Structure 1
């Protein structure tokens, strides 16, 4: 038979008064310690004894002692109450200063190019915060999975989330290796992609993502085909570098390989814009200091990067 372990309302009332009286063996000293009147302490003890169903103290005009029931109650109640006080203190500290475990869910692609330098500087600035990164393409429920915040491209973030930009908007580019283009002509228009080996992305919901392009102000979605399917952009990019086929990926991810000559960008006039990468978290009035510190750090780094872009003219 299932037992009911729910704590009754008011079950802890009077326990602090009991422990103070038991420690001092005095109602007057307990009242002074707790900052209440002696009559208030006496009333709390009477209510507690009535609820417990046993007399806890032996009272005389000169002394206060514990009954056997009181001794047993003390032996169990004192360590339990001390644990509650300690738990409250720990929670209060986490609510007042940046400390504790900060859990973030992020896609694998942003870890090396965006998150690694950010986390390094954040950990130096806030040594009392431990950062845990769960790198996955899966879109998770932050509250259910126990995450403080997530990082995703803007188009994948629910409208009820608070979103903080981490990057400027960027293009989705189509890239292929020189070895691939040594065997195949470069596509000149979107329809040419039907004759190419196009690497595809399987989303976390199991669907294959179409390729998105633009023709002027018109958006185009194409169901492409090819020999390789991945569930994240870094894997797709690696396959493109090896000459398996063409890949459509966020431009910042491909930038280094393009600069190194490992990849060539094609169909650039048809590259669509993405809103960028955002830090997101549930909308709520009170944010824990550890998350607030990370949000402020992200904003500071983001503003610094924007200023650098303006100065460099890029």
Structure 2
């Protein structure tokens, strides 16, 4: 089989594809070229010429077919041990107002308001701090370098957490995990190259 598959995905999801999906694609379907465009903003994959996209399940339109990709993702607050030793650990989301927080600039240009959940109670907090970034890997680096508390997807921080360079805070307020999926239009025929890609994605769930 030969062909091209164009995929639109945010950076973290693209990394997951490179680590887990592409090696299997290269082995099973060496004639299929996977063309990944890394983009944070949510695009209309049909009008933009993509075969499929990767996003959090909650942001995928209902007219799309979604295929789960990997484990669900939690969004967590992390900070360096040195920062926490100097400024203390927040006991509740409201206490973030007195902390240095690393802002997240969304693709829309708006600042992301941090979301929390505990025992059915939901909170949205507007934070402030010394730096605003639009890339989660840079947010993790900023937190490692003692610039403040970051709010990131758990896979972005897992290595730093495992190595002790970061610690999770406000654990009890972590929102429920959300699934990630590859999605594609359900109203048109699936090209053979895309079907091969989806078959590989599905094998990861077994």
Corresponding residue of 1:115: 18
The aligned counterpart of 1:290 is: 193
Distance in structure 1 (CA, Å) of the matches to 2:14 and 2:2: 22
Assess if the C-alpha contact under 8 Å between 2:6 and 2:37 holds in 1.
Answer: yes
Indicate the SS of the match to 1:194: helix
Which structure has more relative contact order (CA 8 Å, sep 6+)? It is: 2
Q: Report the CA distance between 1:139 and its aligned residue.
A: 1.4
Question: Cα offset for 1:161?
Answer: 1.4
1:114–1:129 CA distance, 2 compared to 1 (3 A): closer
**Structure 2 unpaired stretches of 5+:** none
- State how many pairs are aligned: 206
| Structure with greater Cα Rg | 1
- Residues 102, 132 of structure 2: 8 Å contact kept: yes
Cα distance in 2 for residues equivalent to 1:268 and 1:116: 28
Distance 1:261 1:293 in 2: 40
Q: How far, CA to CA, are the matches of 1:112 and 1:146 in structure 2?
A: 21
Which of 143, 151, 159 matches 1:256? 159
The aligned counterpart of 1:89 is none
2:137 and 2:171 map into 1 onto residues whose CA distance is 20
Corresponding residue to 1:209 among 83, 100, 112: 112
Higher percent of residues as strand:
2
- The 2-side partners of 1:153 and 1:232 are apart by 16
Alignment correspondent of 2:147: 244
Structure 2 residue aligned with 1:173? 76
Contact 1:113–1:253 at 8 Å: present in 2 too? Answer: no
Structure 1 portions without partners, runs of 5+: 1-97, 304-314
- Is the 8 Å Cα contact of residues 70 and 204 (structure 2) preserved in structure 1? no
Query: In the alignment, which residue of structure 2 is the partner of 1:100?
Result: 3
Q: Which of the numbers 129, 137, 151 marks the counterpart of 1:234?
A: 137
TM-score normalized with structure 2 length: 0.94
Secondary structure class of the residue paired with 2:11: coil
TM-score normalized by the length of structure 1 = 0.63
Q: Kindly tell me: are residues 184 and 113 of structure 1, through their superposed partners in 2, closer, same or farther at Cα, counting changes over 3 Å?
A: farther
Structure whose residues are more often helix by fraction: 1
Name which of 162, 169, 185 aligns with 1:266: 169
Per-residue CA deviation, residues 92-140 of structure 1 (Å, 9 max, x unaligned), is xxxxxx4211111111122334532311221221011011111121211
Specify the alignment match of 1:147 in structure 2: 50
Equivalent residue in structure 2 for 1:197, among 97, 100, 112: 100
